[in-house]
């Protein structure tokens, strides 16, 4: 099975770069200056140091599953089970360094196709076994925690083997992909037909089509290509009650759009086996640039104007002063010093970096769109700092997870959280979340950016760095996250794109109302009467 999931996934972001991920000494010195002495070094614990309970999957369940998918696709070895125990939140990662326990599935089952997924669910329903759908395992909200709930056992349903491009309709520009296809693999398969998805979240290298759909993911180019849900035209869903296919036409007035019971259902209402997706031609031309605005208010005003005039670049990412300062500090060379002087001379005292990127069919198209964007930015006094910064951001845009691994290794508590709100509330909400985090964490660097903008509002994405509390590393982040979630509740959404999982489930009723929760429960009861699907998530 080792070819199907790299065990190092649990220890590092990518096999090639993971072990090599390190922080320059300069960056660590700068961090100590800002947040004080770091926690002790905390490398990943070997599997042998982690507690893996004996599996409790019944003999008959095991035999039925083995008969269906083959004994080599029902894995019970501790290493295989540990590899699918939990996702990649900060708490998941510190637990893997020996701080606190986490639930481990009783078995890992790897079906080969939608029909086998359907049969796995029927077997599990018969034997009262919980099923945790497992895509790339990149959930940061406890979405793949192997919780058993009231079931007799729990399996991780690893969808890696559902790895095919099922069909491409170049006329309607729709492709059907199986759920286990990862971001890069989807683009590789589609490129052979001249298409791309344009969906590039930071977890792109690991996350899967099924996971994107199940969590309402949003990629870094969402301003141009849309959120993942905007790309979905149809879904094929396995449920304990039978298979459910949705999405027959590009638009419909045939009652409520039930596709949205599958999109964002986080494995609690069914297992997505195939997704029909809108695809776009692979862009011929890409242009990425950096600008600087003076202060957060001017920056968000500019982004709002771009969104409301419909001239957003495909990638539009505005960092606040703190995030911009960190970016500049970590690149502290002579060029940065010159840049700082230049910005001062241009009257920019509180630099906020703005990365903008356009992708299109021709130089002319990209130039025309760029001109529309830049015209608005100039009205807000944006200072252009050139293509080098934009390109360097594009090249390094998937490096965040590797740096996070290295920071945690070095005793830093580093985590992200996100929300979205209407423009009227956006800045107040940012202040409130910062205040809540500062009150609980004390000396911390709190950075924020907007990377998904809409006519009516935008997302806020926070990155927090503080020294790890040696005595209580888990409680340290749980308290901070609870305070931030309280600050968000009632003003912004509890999640713009990370989803609900376990971590946000408590806050869902405040967002969708008790009736909303009952509607979801009723839907679950209909498709999953025995409640085997992803115990403890979403609801």
Ligand X SMILES: Cc1cc2nc3c(=O)[nH]c(=O)nc-3n(C[C@H](O)[C@H](O)[C@H](O)COP(=O)(O)OP(=O)(O)OC[C@H]3O[C@@H](n4cnc5c(N)ncnc54)[C@H](O)[C@@H]3O)c2cc1C
Q: What is the DSSP letter of 320?
A: -
Number of CB atoms found within 10 A of residue 329's CB: 15
Q: Is 108 annotated as a binding residue?
A: no
Measure CA of the first residue to CA of the last residue in the chain; give whole Å: 33
Q: What is the DSSP letter of 182?
A: B
Q: Is 39 annotated as a binding residue?
A: no
- Is 461 in the active site? yes
- Specify which residues 174 forms β-bridges with: 169, 278
Minimum distance from residue 303 beta carbon to ligand X (Å): 18
Candidate residues 123, 153, 207, 467; the one interacting with ligand X per rule CB under 6 A: 207
Minimum distance from residue 178 beta carbon to ligand X (Å): 9
Based on CB atoms, which residue is closest to ligand X, 210 or 299? Answer: 210
Minimum distance from residue 135 beta carbon to ligand X (Å): 3
Ramachandran category for residue 469: left, alpha or beta (phi over 0 → left; psi -120 to 50 → alpha): beta
DSSP E strand boundaries for 84-227: 107-109, 129-134, 153-158, 165-169, 174-178, 195-196
Site string for ligand X, 481-520 (x = CB under 6 A): ----------------xxx-x-------------------
Q: Which residues of 227-241 are buried (b: 16+ CB within 10 A; e: fewer)?
A: bbbebbbbbbbbbbe
Q: Is 268 annotated as a binding residue?
A: yes
Minimum distance from residue 407 beta carbon to ligand X (Å): 12
Q: Is 404 annotated as a binding residue?
A: yes
Residue of this chain nearest to ligand X (CB atom): 211
Site string for ligand X, 216-235 (x = CB under 6 A): -xx-----------------
**Which one, of 320, 310, 281, lies nearest residue 433 by Cα?**
320
| Residue 307 near residue 454 (C-beta atoms within 8 A) | yes
Assign 348 to helix, strand or coil: coil
- Site membership for ligand X, residue 215 (CB under 6 A): yes
Number of residues that bind ligand X (CB under 6 A): 40
Q: What angle do CA 73, 74, 77 make, to 5 degrees?
A: 115
- Please, what sign has the CA dihedral across residues 12, 13, 14, 17? negative
Based on CB atoms, which residue is closest to ligand X, 131 or 343? Answer: 131
d(Cα 277, Cα 235) in Å, to the nearest integer? 9
- Among 204, 225, 288, 461, which one carries the catalytic annotation? 461
- Site membership for ligand X, residue 144 (CB under 6 A): yes
d(Cα 452, Cα 226) in Å, to the nearest integer? 9
- Site membership for ligand X, residue 132 (CB under 6 A): yes
- Site membership for ligand X, residue 159 (CB under 6 A): yes
- Specify which residues 539 forms β-bridges with: none
Which residue is listed with tokens 């920056």? 299
Minimum distance from residue 530 beta carbon to ligand X (Å): 17
Q: Is 270 annotated as a binding residue?
A: yes
Q: Is 170 annotated as a binding residue?
A: no
- Site membership for ligand X, residue 134 (CB under 6 A): yes
Interaction residues for ligand X, span 381-440 (CB under 6 A): 400-401
Q: Which stretch binds ligand X (CB under 6 A): 22-30, 60-68, 250-258, 265-273?
A: 265-273
Minimum distance from residue 334 beta carbon to ligand X (Å): 32
Candidate residues 86, 114, 133, 198; the one interacting with ligand X per rule CB under 6 A: 133
Number of CB atoms found within 10 A of residue 308's CB: 15
Q: Is 182 annotated as a binding residue?
A: no
Q: Is 266 annotated as a binding residue?
A: yes
CA distances from 421 to 59, 76, 131, 192, 228 (A): 50, 44, 34, 39, 19
Known binding positions for substrate: 404
The binding site for ligand X (CB under 6 A) comprises: 87-88, 132-140, 143-144, 159, 179, 201-203, 206-208, 210-212, 214-215, 217-218, 266-267, 271-272, 400-401, 497-499, 501, 534, 537
Known binding positions for FAD: 133-139, 266-272
Tell me the catalytic residues.
461
């Amino acid at each position: 099975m080792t070819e199907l999931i790299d065990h190092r996934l649990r220890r590092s972001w990518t096999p090639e770069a993971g072990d090599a991920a390190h922080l320059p000494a300069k960056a660590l010195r700068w961090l100590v200056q800002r947040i004080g002495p770091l926690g002790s070094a905390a490398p990943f614990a070997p599997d042998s140091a982690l507690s893996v309970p004996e599996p409790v999957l019944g003999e008959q369940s095991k035999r039925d599953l083995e008969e269906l998918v083959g004994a080599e696709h029902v894995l019970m070895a501790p290493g295989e089970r540990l590899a699918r125990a939990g996702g990649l939140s900060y708490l998941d990662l510190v637990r893997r360094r020996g701080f606190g326990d986490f639930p481990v599935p009783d078995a890992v089952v790897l079906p080969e196709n939608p029909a086998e997924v359907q049969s796995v669910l029927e077997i599990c329903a018969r034997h009262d076994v919980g099923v945790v759908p497992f895509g790339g395992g990149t959930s940061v909200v406890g979405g793949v925690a192997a919780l058993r709930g009231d079931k007799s056992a729990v399996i991780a349903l690893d969808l890696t083997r559902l790895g095919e491009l099922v069909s491409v309709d170049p006329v309607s520009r729709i492709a059907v992909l199986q759920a286990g296809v990862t971001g890069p693999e989807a683009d590789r398969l589609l490129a052979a037909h001249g298409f791309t998805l344009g969906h590039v979240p930071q977890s792109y290298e690991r996350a899967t089509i099924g996971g994107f759909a199940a969590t309402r993911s949003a990629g870094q180019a969402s301003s141009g290509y849309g959120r993942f849900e905007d790309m979905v035209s149809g879904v094929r869903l396995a449920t304990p009650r039978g298979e459910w296919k949705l999405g027959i036409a590009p638009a419909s007035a045939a009652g409520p759009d039930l596709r949205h019971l599958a999109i964002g259902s986080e494995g609690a209402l069914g297992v997505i086996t195939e997704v029909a997706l809108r695809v776009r031609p692979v862009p011929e031309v890409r242009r990425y640039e950096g600008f600087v605005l003076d202060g957060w208010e001017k920056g968000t005003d500019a982004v709002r104007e771009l969104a409301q005039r419909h001239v957003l670049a495909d990638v539009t990412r505005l960092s606040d002063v703190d995030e911009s300062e960190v970016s500049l500090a970590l690149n502290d060379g002579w060029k940065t010093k010159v840049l700082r002087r230049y910005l001062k001379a241009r009257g920019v005292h509180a630099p906020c970096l703005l990365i903008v990127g356009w992708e299109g069919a021709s130089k002319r198209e990209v130039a025309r769109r760029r001109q529309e964007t830049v015209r608005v930015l100039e009205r807000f006094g944006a200072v252009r700092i050139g293509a080098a910064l934009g390109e360097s951001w594009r090249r390094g845009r998937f490096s965040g997870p590797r740096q996070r691994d290295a920071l945690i290794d070095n005793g830093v508590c580093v985590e992200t959280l996100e929300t979205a709100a209407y423009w009227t509330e956006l800045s107040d909400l940012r202040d409130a979340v910062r205040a809540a985090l500062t009150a609980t964490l004390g000396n911390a660097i709190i950075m924020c950016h907007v990377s998904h903008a809409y006519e009516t509002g935008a997302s806020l994405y926070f990155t927090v760095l503080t020294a790890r509390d040696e005595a209580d590393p888990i409680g340290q982040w749980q308290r901070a996250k609870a305070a931030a979630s309280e600050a968000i509740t009632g003003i912004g959404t509890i999640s713009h794109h990370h989803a609900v999982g376990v971590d946000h489930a408590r806050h869902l009723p405040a967002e969708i109302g008790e009736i909303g929760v009952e509607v979801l429960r009723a839907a679950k009861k209909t498709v999953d009467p025995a409640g085997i699907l992803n115990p403890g998530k979403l609801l």
